[in-house]
Amino acid sequence: MHNKDNKDANMMKNKLSVVIAATLVSLTSTAQAAQEVGIYNVASMSGTFANFGHQGEKGARLAVETAAPIDGVNLKLVTVDTESNAGKASRKVKSIIAEDEGRYFVGSTLSSTALAVGKEVNRTGGVYMTGSGADEITGIECNKATFRWSAPTYGAVNASLRPLLDKYPEIKRIYSITPQYVFGDAMLENTKMVAEERGVELVGNSYHSLKEKEFSGYLTQAMAAKPDLLVLHNFGSQATATIQQAVNFGMKNRMKILLVWSNGLDQMRTLGSTVSDGLYFGSQYWHEDQNPANQELVKLAQEKLGETPTYPMAHYYQMSKLMIDSIRAVGNDPMKVRTHLEGLNYEGVTGKEVVRTADHQIEKSFYLLQGKGEAAMTDSSDFADIVATNKYFVAADKTGCNMGI
C-alpha cells in the first residue's frame, strides 16, 4: 500500500512538472513574441526651450504609461534631446533609425528641427507627429511621414489676432517683435496679411535672434512707434522675458499686448497673475475646455502627476496617444499607421479633431485667452478666460503640399 501511495505521488509530481514546464514555455514564447516598440520623444531638453521640452516629456510619458495593453507589443518611451539644433536632431534621429530601427517619432520645439527630422523619418519609412508651427511643414515641405497636431502659424495668427481686432475696433496701429527664423518669419507674414485685410497699419517690427535675453531695446523702439497693439511672435522663455520687460516699462497701460503662440498655463504661472492680468494669449490648448477627452486628460494628469496639464504636456500627450492608438488599431507597421491616420476623426483634447489626408494637417481648435488678476481666479490654475475658440486653416489644395511618390 505504501509503495502504491509513493508511486501515485511521484506520478502527480511528474504531471505537475509537465504542467509547470508547459506554462513556462508558453510564457516565454509570449514574451518573445511581444515586440518592444519605441515611441521616440524628440524634444528640447536643454537650451533656451528646455522647460517646454521637460513639460512635453511628462505628457508623452503619461500617454505611454497609461496606454491600454496592445497584443504583441511592449511600448517604451525614449527621449531624444534636440538641443534646439536642427542638425544635431537630424543626426541623432538618423542614428536611432540605423541602430535601433526606431520608426515612431513625436515632438520637436523649433520648426527648423521639425522640418529636418521629418525628412529623415520620411526617408526611412517611419511616422512623425509634430506640433511645430511653420506653415511649410504641411505646405511646400510636406511629406508622407509627417503629421502636424498643432494649428500652424496661419491658424494661430488668424485665431488670435482676428477676434482681438473684433473686440477692439479702435486698434489701428500694430508693432511686432519677431524671432528671426522660419517660425518667426511665418508668424510675421501672417500678421501682415491679417493687418492689411483689416485696414490696420503695421508700423514696425523688430527681429531678434534665438539667443537673445534682453529685449528692452526692441520695446523702446515699439513704444516710440506708438502702436495700439504690441504683437509678440516669440516663444517660450524669450516671450516670457519680453512680456516681463514690457510690463516693467508700463506698456500694458499704453497699448494692448498679444502673445500669439503662448505656453498657456505654464507661462502664466511663470509670469504670475499680476503680470498676466489683461494681457492676451493665443494658445493651442487650455485645460478648462469642457470636452470629454480633455476632462479625461485633466483627471489623469491630476491622479498620476498631481498637477493640471499645461499646453506642452497636452500637446505631447495627444501626439503620443494618437500614435499609440494607431499602432493598436493596425499593428506595428509604420505604413499601415500612416494610412490609418489619414482622414481620421477623433475626440482630442481640444474637441473634435480631424487628420487631413492631403497634407497631414490636423484641424483642431485654437484659443484666444485673456489673463486675469488674482481676485478673479477661482483656483490656482485659473489664470485666464477663453475669449474665443476658432479653427483657421488654409485649404489643403492651397498649401503647396505635394506628397510625391
> Could you tell me if residue 230 is inside a domain?
yes
> Could you tell me if residue 75 is inside a domain?
yes
pLDDT number for residue 17: 52
One-character DSSP codes across 8-22: HHHHHHHHHHHHHHH
Is the domain of 185 the same as that of 275?
Answer: yes
Is the domain of 375 the same as that of 360?
Answer: no
- Which residues constitute the domain of residue 235? 154-283+367-390
pLDDT number for residue 31: 46
State how far the Cα of 129 lies from the Cα of 96, in Å rounded to an integer: 17
Is the domain of 42 the same as that of 178?
Answer: no
Amino acid (one-letter) located at 90? S
State how many domains the chain has. Answer: 2
pLDDT number for residue 15: 53
Is the domain of 57 the same as that of 130?
Answer: yes
Question: Which pTM value belongs to this model?
Answer: 0.87
Is the domain of 120 the same as that of 200?
Answer: no
Is the domain of 184 the same as that of 250?
Answer: yes
pLDDT number for residue 13: 54
> Could you tell me if residue 395 is inside a domain?
no
pLDDT number for residue 7: 55
> Residue 124's domain is classified under what CATH number?
3.40.50.2300
Is the domain of 244 the same as that of 321?
Answer: no
Is the domain of 376 the same as that of 241?
Answer: yes
| Local mean pLDDT, 10-residue blocks, the chain (405 residues) | 53 51 44 80 88 93 96 94 87 88 89 92 95 93 97 96 98 97 94 98 97 95 98 95 97 97 94 97 97 97 96 96 97 97 98 97 98 96 97 95 80
Is the domain of 167 the same as that of 268?
Answer: yes
Is the domain of 253 the same as that of 340?
Answer: no
> Could you tell me if residue 9 is inside a domain?
no
Is the domain of 71 the same as that of 112?
Answer: yes
Edge to edge, the sheet with strand 362-363 lists: 345-348, 351-355, 362-363
Is the domain of 174 the same as that of 255?
Answer: yes
pLDDT number for residue 304: 97
Q: Is 226 helix (H, G, I), strand (E, B) or coil?
A: coil
pLDDT number for residue 79: 93
> Could you tell me if residue 403 is inside a domain?
no
State how far the Cα of 258 lies from the Cα of 175, in Å rounded to an integer: 11
Q: Give phi and psi for 173, each to the nearest 5.
A: -135, 130
